[in-house]
Amino acid sequence: MNRHEVIIIGGGVTGCSIAYHLAERGMRDVAVLERAYLTSGATGRCGAGFRHQWGTKTNCLLAKYAIARLEHLAEELDYPEGIEIKQEGYLLLAYTPKMEEQFKKNLALQKSLGIDARWVTPREAREIVPFLNTEGLLGATFCPKDGHANPFKVTDAYARAARRLGVKIHTYTEVRDIKIEGSLKTVITNRGTFQAPVVVNAAGGHAAEIGRMVGVDLPIVPERHQILVTEPVEQVLGPMVMSFYHNLYCQQTPHGSFIMGLGDPNEPKEYNVRSSWQFLTQMARKAVWLLPVLKNVRVVRQWAGVYDMSPDRQPVLGEVPGVPGFYVAAGFSGHGFMIAPMTGQLMAEVILGLPTTLPVDMFSLSRFTTGELFVEPSVV
Amino acid sequence: MEDKTIICRCEDVTLEEIRKAIAEGARTLDEIKRLKRCGMGPCQGRTCRPLIAGEIARMTGQNPAELALPTFRPPVVPLKLGTLARGGVPDEQA
Ligand SMILES: Cc1cc2nc3c(=O)[nH]c(=O)nc-3n(C[C@H](O)[C@H](O)[C@H](O)COP(=O)(O)OP(=O)(O)OC[C@H]3O[C@@H](n4cnc5c(N)ncnc54)[C@H](O)[C@@H]3O)c2cc1C
Ligand code: FES
């Protein structure tokens, strides 16, 4: 029997960030249980982009605080090899008058929160990305401080810092069941039993399964998203190019490879991480149309991961009403990587009963029963 | 083998780096691939994977035959996006 103060289920970027932030605030008797290896879930399969360009105050601030942390994460976590951060902006393309109107509203909001983003004409967009096909483009928004980082390194950096502070990380340890007696939770795994008064569900696309183990119905469903990577070539694309109209994003990593993905609105809601040939053709068509220079770049690998989708595409953060000591940090709906530094900090503050750095009430599970949904207009 | 020997030619990863990753706790090919990128190059690990598996087995006393292999991901050979955009028809036939 392994007794701890806190057990975190899930060794993705969220679980590792929560573990670090708890330990950093003095709560060191923490165990992280991960069914496979760290980053084996969405974290290791993601586009790993981060952007300030959101359409609600909460998300703008969450992103702004989190990105400020990512900018110095290697120093904060004493991770000398670095997290391969790149900040050359996100170019968000607008193709319809409705999009243009929404983007301009978002810009006004961002500006009021001190985020440096601006409207660019198609011609200016071509100055930022010289080979962009601007056919049908009405304009775009650009924030130079958006970018991406290596999700394996970010998670490894949190995991190492957490371990140094005393956190125990158990990989290849799958949670099979949870029993609650009084305030004590017994977590049964394929590698023995763990006990703690506090359990945190950071199981990403599997969060609903973990919820069911304690009789809680979490409205979080897995949705497959496919992505591919090319061979590395010389640096030609500074920013991440994102089109909600085509449902696609494309970026070039510091390593030289291009990473690009598509969202498919018709994707069935199920746990599926197989990749498909259809995706490859569709992705290639759209990418070569938008960025013709990519025509001669070779794809070396494609894969898939799941978004942990919630009904309003916003995470559930906090303690579950009616199950004291059982916390959820899941439902990130495709943007959990970029906010992970703040997810970790806010969850640690909530668990330890400290004042929170940013408001978190709007992320509570109860919003789905009271109907106070949180609507973010700008997601892929 | 020398520590400076390059084990992953596609991504320039040395035996020394791989030994360090194992010494720091990595136990599977999946973990090493994600931290060091070996196996993610154009050959998709066809060259380096057996060498790394051998090193993990040697350093950790595991049986090489029992090491879990990462998923071989499509495509099997690198394909140009332009070719894929045409539904897989290569340049010369398009
Ligand atoms: C294709 C794709 C592209 C994306 N692009 C971006 C992007 O550009 N920017 C961005 O911010 N976000 C992006 N995301 C979303 C991002 O990947 C996730 O929001 C983020 O990684 C969530 O991290 P997590 O730790 O909460 O979940 P995960 O990384 O999924 O971690 C959950 C972990 O729990 C483990 N687990 C599950 N069940 C059990 C169990 N029973 N016992 C023990 N362990 C268990 C899993 O193995 C997994 O490792 C993308 C996602 C995908 C799929
Ligand atoms: S030699 Fe390692 S990926 Fe090709």
What is the C-alpha separation between A167 and A187, in angstroms, rounded? 17
Interchain contact, B81 vs A255, CB within 8 Å: no
What is the C-alpha separation between A270 and A267, in angstroms, rounded? 9
CA A147 to chain centre: 13
Helix H, strand E, coil C: the string for A245-259 is CCCEEEEECCCCCEE
Q: Mean pLDDT, to the nearest integer, of A36-55?
A: 95
Domains in chain A: ranges and CATH? 2-46+152-220+311-370 (3.50.50.60), 87-144+221-308 (3.30.9.10)
A298 at the B interface (CB within 8 A)? yes
Point out the ligand nearest to the CA of residue A262.
1
Query: Is the Cβ–Cβ distance between A131 and A143 less than 8 Å?
Result: no
Q: With a cut of 90, say whether residue B92 has pLDDT above it.
A: no
Contacts of A115 (CB under 8 A, 6+ apart): A52, A53, A60, A64, A143
Q: With a cut of 70, say whether residue A56 has pLDDT above it.
A: yes
What is the C-alpha separation between A140 and A100, in angstroms, rounded? 8
Q: Both tokens of residue B49?
A: 């994977």
Sequence letter at residue A375 = V
The ligand 2 atom at the shortest distance from the C-alpha of residue B47 is: 1
pLDDT tens, position by position, A267-281: 777 777 778 888 999
- The predicted pLDDT at position A61 comes to 96
| Mutation for testing the B interface, residue in A288, A291, A294 having most B CBs under 10 Å | A288
- Domains of chain B, by residue range, sit at 6-93
Q: Can you list the alpha helix ranges (DSSP code H) found in A72-220?
A: 73-76, 97-112, 122-128, 151-164, 207-213
Sequence letter at residue B33 = K
Determine if the pTM surpasses 0.90: yes
Please tell me which residue, A379 or A162, carries the higher pLDDT value: A162
Q: What is the ipTM of this complex?
A: 0.82
What is the C-alpha separation between A214 and A222, in angstroms, rounded? 19
Q: With a cut of 60, say whether residue A380 has pLDDT above it.
A: no
Query: Is the Cβ–Cβ distance between A302 and A351 less than 8 Å?
Result: no
The ligand 2 atom at the shortest distance from the C-alpha of residue B43 is: 4
Indicate the pLDDT class of residue B93, thresholds 50, 70 and 90. Answer: very low
- pLDDT > 90: what percent of chain A? 91
**Which of 3.40.50.1100, 1.20.120.1760, 2.60.40.420, 1.10.10.1100 is the CATH number of B6-93?**
1.10.10.1100
* A298 neighbourhood in chain B, CB within 8 Å: 42, 78-81
Average pLDDT, chain A: 95
What is the C-alpha separation between B77 and A299, in angstroms, rounded? 9
